[in-house]
Structures are given as C-alpha cells and as structure tokens.
Amino acid sequence: MSYNRTIVIEGDPEGVFLELFFKTLKSKSFKNYLILICSKNNLQKQMNKAKFKKKINLLDIKKTNEILLKKKEINLIDVKLKKTKNKNLNNKNIKDYIEKCFEISFKLIKEGFANKLINGPVDKKIFLKNKFLGVTEYVSNKFNKKKTGMLIYNKQLSVCPVTTHLPLRNVSRSINRNIIHDKINLVNNFYLKYLKLKPRIAVTGLNPHCESILKFNEDEKIIKPAIKTMKKRNINVKGPFPADTIFSSKNRKLFDVVIGMYHDQVLAPIKALYEFDAINITMGLPFLRATPDHGPNKQMAGKNISNPTSLIRALEFLDKQ
C-alpha cells in the first residue's frame, strides 16, 4: 500500500472543482503525490480558461508498476467525457463519466496503488438517482462497509450526523440505540487512530430541548440509554444536549465532536461557524476519503471567484496521515 499518494477525482465536469484545484496548486505544495482522474480535454479547456499553466504527466494505469509520478506536474489519468452530437453534456454523459472515474479510483485503491481519495462535488440527483442517500453511502457500498459515518471535520470542532440525507419525517423512525452506538464508536476510533486523541464527544437530543409532548420521547428512551452504554465502554461521551445551545461559544470549548441526530441539525451550525474551513471525511472505510464540504456550484463555474479553502484543508489533512 502506498501511503504517499492521493487520488483526486474531478467530480461533476460542469462544476467548480478544477478551478479550485488550480487555486490549490498555486497556493501550496503537498507531500503526497496527487493523481488526478478526469478528462484531459476538459482539464486543458479549464486550464486555458483559468490561464493556469502546468505540464501534464499522462499516466497509463494498465502498467501501474511502471508509473512515474512527478511532483511539479499534474499526474493525470485521462477518462473520456462523451458529449452529444451538439457537443453538449447531458445527465447521462455526466453520470457515466463520474461513475467511470470512481471505478478507476476504487480499482487503484484495491490494488494498493494509493490509500487516500478526494472526490470533487457531484450533483447527487444526476449521479446517484436516489439509489443512495449520498456519496458516503455509495462509496461504502462499493467496499461492502455497512458501518460508516460522515464526519465534518474542523480541528476546533467537528460534527457527525447519525442520519444523513433523510427527509425529516423519516429521521425519528431511523434512530435506534445501535446506530447511535455505531456513530460514537466510529468517531472515537477515528480520532484515536488518525488524530492520536481521545475525543470529547457531545450527543444532541432529537426533540427541541430534549423534550416531547408525546408519550414516547426518543431522547429518554433511545438516546440517553445509548450514551450510558458507551460511557461504560470508557468512551468520553456526554448528553443528550439540546441542539439549540450545544454550539454556544462556551460549550464548543468543552467538546471535540458533536454527534447530532440528523443532517442539518449539526451541519447548519458548523457551516455557519467555519464556512469553507471544514472537510467531509468518511469514517469506517479501509482507506481515507476526505472531500470538500460543498457542492459542485455550477452557477459559479468559470467565474474564478470560488473559495478553495475546503479543498486545501482536505489535502492538508491527508498529507499528515
């Protein structure tokens, strides 16, 4: 297994990722070799548009043992991007292209060529077509990993949602003690392994103020007992805490990670606090996957005004591992 190689997938070819990639390469260098998987034609087109100059080192993945990576060039695996007769992209073109890029990356990881992955943002409606809740679940499925989790990481405070891209009406029925146990374990093990730190973990309640007017209160019947069990396993976890106060300045100093019951319960405050200074990590995979914590933002593509901070932070994090 090569520990100094990071595979970088473009993601949506109509998004801002390549622009961010160019800005990142201009801003700093990295210890890891970066291997970009994308269309050579699209790469050159975007380089011309951004007036970004760098040599391209085209790689032949049929001969991985003979690949010579270069730090000062873009190490590229070319994936053909099919277009319509009118030379436009449609949703099928985009889906097939992204899928091919992922397939190549998975093959290289399974062969031991690299053990770190970054993918540019994708339009989930186009790429996943409701087959998976998100890319986290898509990648987990490809490696037969059922117990994985999303960590939105910032070195000051991170968050982990127990449920990810679920409609709100499905959240309460999807929460149980086992899934809470799993997420607490994932967070604790990830911090111990990669950050050499026993994390201080807070868990939010589901209901406002951890109270309910209904006879069945999930905070009392599910969340509190789950936390009690994990405490007995010598994990530094506390809660449940009301979600409306756990992110106060005083409380943020007491914890390293806040585990919430649903996506926006914890992602909305972390993005308000740190904006682009956070990354999306998938815990529980046999390799490290970290991605920018934002979407493809097609509306801003080509305008050269997108913020590369999240991509820089993702590459910096992988560089340290």
Q: Which CATH homologous superfamily contains domain 149-282?
A: Isopropylmalate Dehydrogenase (3.40.718.10)
In the prediction, which pLDDT does 158 show? Answer: 98
Give CATH 3.40.718.10 domain extents, the chain.
Answer: 1-145+285-321, 149-282
pTM attached to this predicted model:
0.93
Beta bridge partners of 40: none
3 state DSSP class of 207: coil
3-state DSSP of 17-58: HHHHHHHHHHHCCCCCEEEEEECHHHHHHHHHHHCCCCCEEE
Instruction: Give the per-residue pLDDT at 85.
Output: 65
User: pLDDT of the chain along its 321 residues, tens only?
Assistant: 567 999 999 999 998 999 999 999 999 889 999 999 999 999 999 999 999 999 999 998 887 777 899 999 999 999 999 876 667 788 899 999 999 999 999 999 999 999 999 999 998 888 988 788 999 999 999 999 999 999 999 999 999 999 999 999 999 999 999 999 999 999 999 999 999 999 999 999 999 999 888 888 999 999 999 999 999 999 999 999 999 999 999 999 999 999 999 999 999 999 999 998 999 999 999 999 999 988 777 777 777 878 899 999 999 999 998
In the chain, the amino acid numbered 254 is L
Fold of 1-145+285-321: Isopropylmalate Dehydrogenase (3.40.718)
Q: What is the pLDDT of residue 72?
A: 93
Amino acid 299: pLDDT:
72
Rounded to a whole number of angstroms, the distance between the first and last alpha carbons of the chain is: 13
Please give the C-alpha separations between residue 152 and each of 168, 270, 272, in angstroms, as whole numbers.
20, 8, 13
How, if at all, do strands 149-153 and 279-283 pair?
antiparallel
Residue 189: exposed, middle, or buried by beta-carbon count in 10 A (0-12, 13-18, 19+)? Answer: middle
- Residue 61: helix, strand or coil by DSSP? helix
Q: Which of 249, 250, 233, 239 is nearest to 203 (CA)?
A: 239
C-alpha–C-alpha distance, residues 75 and 64, integer Å = 13
Helix intervals (H) in the chain: 17-27, 40-50, 91-110, 124-127, 135-142, 171-174, 177-194, 218, 224-232, 249-252, 263-274, 309-319
CB 161 within 8 A of CB 267: yes
